[in-house]
Amino acid sequence: MQIGLVGLGKMGGNMRERIRNAGHTVIGYDTNPELSDVDHLSDLVDRLEGPRAVWVMVPAGAATQHVIDQLASLLKPGDTVVDGGNSRWTDDEKHARELGARGIGFVDAGVSGGVWGLKNGYALMVGGDEEHVERLKPIFDALKPDGPYGYVHAGRVGAGHFAKMVHNGIEYAMMQAYAEGWELLEKAESVTGVRDVFRSWQEGTVIRSWLLDLAVNALDEDEHLERLRGYAEDSGEGRWTVEAAIDNAVPLPAITASLFARFASRQEDSPQMKMVAALRNQFGGHAVESAKKA
């Protein structure tokens, strides 16, 4: 199958490679010419055979809107656009209307896997009409992890990004719980091997997880996280999850508290946020800030 891919950063570039490794043709475009297969977005569209499929992997908001506006004028009826970035689900509904008015299909795909996706595969949460989703199934199969899990057609347009948003909200709460436990262990005078305690939890406990494995990786690199500043950003999905909970009158005390804890990291060098920052770097390659030297 042929597909165009717009945005070849950390995830987009690895996704291009994984799709190609599965035997499909990928034509990639990026504003960085060193990464791009073509010079212009119009060149990407011209090189695809109809009906075309173009996957967008650019930052949510204005950048995604700009690319979709361009594609709306370049693509033809029967073509399909996939937004695989971290867009808000309400934007998906808008994009589907805009493209649908031109006869162009739209699919939203929540993508999880970070910098490990090339090797392990990407978890995909997809929203859209059945006909558009089924057409792209070979690409979804190429990207997902091996085995029966890691892909779901979650529902209509917007469902994919809504599911990914909730996934990230849960991720917030899990990271916060590990961070709080780590700080308490570090404070206890009787515990002399906090890293080894975390390592011991990797087998035979109910709290073992990939995040725990990544926490051990971070502690192996910097046992007391002394090189990190206790500061962690919050992405749009964390806030959107709490907003959606308010709109639907669903209590989310753990997820909401984990979001507010990141706000606290703006005010001081929070030990808990060192662990959260380390975990975000481990699973997603997100930037970290170095600790200030005395």
Dihedral angle of Cα 287, 144, 211, 174, to the nearest 10 degrees: 90
Q: Do 181 and 149 fall within a single domain?
A: no
Distance CA 199, CA 212 (A): 8
Q: With 60 as the cut, is the pLDDT of residue 294 above it?
A: no
Q: Do 17 and 132 fall within a single domain?
A: yes
| Domain final position from 90, 120, 155 | 155
Distance CA 148, CA 108 (A): 21
pTM to 2 decimal places: 0.87
Residue 126 pairs in a beta bridge with: 109, 153
Model confidence pLDDT, tens digit, residues 177-207: 999 999 999 999 999 999 999 999 999 999 9
Q: Two tokens at 128?
A: 């859209």
Query: What is the reported pLDDT for 167?
Result: 95
35, 55, 215, 216 from 277: Cα distances, Å: 28, 29, 10, 13
Q: Two tokens at 71?
A: 């594609």
Q: With 70 as the cut, is the pLDDT of residue 78 above it?
A: yes
- Reduce the secondary structure of the chain to three states and give it as a string: CEEEEECCCHHHHHHHHHHHHCCCEEEEECCCCCCCCCCCHHHHHHHCCCCCEEEECCCCCHHHHHHHHHHHHHCCCCCEEEECCCCCHHHHHHHHHHHHCCCCEEEEEEEECHHHHHHHCCEEEEECCHHHHHHCHHHHHHHCCCCCCCEEEEECCCHHHHHHHHHHHHHHHHHHHHHHHHHHHHHCCCCCCHHHHHHHCCCCCCCCCHHHHHHHHHHHHCCCCCCECCCCCCCHHHHHHHHHHHHHCCCCHHHHHHHHHHHHCCCCCCHHHHHHHHHHHHHHCCCCCECCCC
Q: Do 195 and 255 fall within a single domain?
A: yes
Closest CA to 220 of 201, 199, 205: 199
- Kindly state the percentage of the chain with pLDDT values over 70: 98
Distance CA 291, CA 294 (A): 9
48, 107, 111 from 79: Cα distances, Å: 10, 11, 21
Query: What is the reported pLDDT for 65?
Result: 96
User: Cis link prior to 77 (omega < 30° from 0)?
Assistant: no
Q: Do 50 and 99 fall within a single domain?
A: yes
Model confidence pLDDT, tens digit, residues 210-251: 999 999 999 999 999 999 988 888 878 899 999 999 999 999
- Please indicate, yes or no, if residue 49 is contained in any of the structural domains: yes
Q: Do 177 and 241 fall within a single domain?
A: yes
Q: With 70 as the cut, is the pLDDT of residue 32 above it?
A: yes
Q: Do 72 and 196 fall within a single domain?
A: no
Residue 40 pairs in a beta bridge with: none
Query: What is the reported pLDDT for 49?
Result: 94
- Please indicate, yes or no, if residue 273 is contained in any of the structural domains: no
Range of the domain at 137: 2-155
The CATH number given to whatever domain includes residue 146 is: 3.40.50.720
Mean pLDDT of the chain: 94
Q: Do 187 and 123 fall within a single domain?
A: no
Q: Do 72 and 99 fall within a single domain?
A: yes
Q: Do 29 and 124 fall within a single domain?
A: yes
Query: What is the reported pLDDT for 268?
Result: 61
Q: Do 223 and 242 fall within a single domain?
A: yes
Residues annotated as catalytic are 164, 171
Model confidence pLDDT, tens digit, residues 81-110: 999 999 999 999 999 999 999 999 999 999
The CATH number given to whatever domain includes residue 233 is: 1.10.1040.10
Q: Do 188 and 145 fall within a single domain?
A: no
Q: With 80 as the cut, is the pLDDT of residue 287 above it?
A: no
- Please indicate, yes or no, if residue 276 is contained in any of the structural domains: no
pLDDT band at 293 (very low <50, low <70, confident <90, very high): low
Structural domains counted in the chain: 2
Q: At what angle do helices 159-187 and 253-264 cross, to 10 degrees?
A: 60
Strand pairing category for 123-127 and 105-112: antiparallel
Q: Two tokens at 219?
A: 């502690």
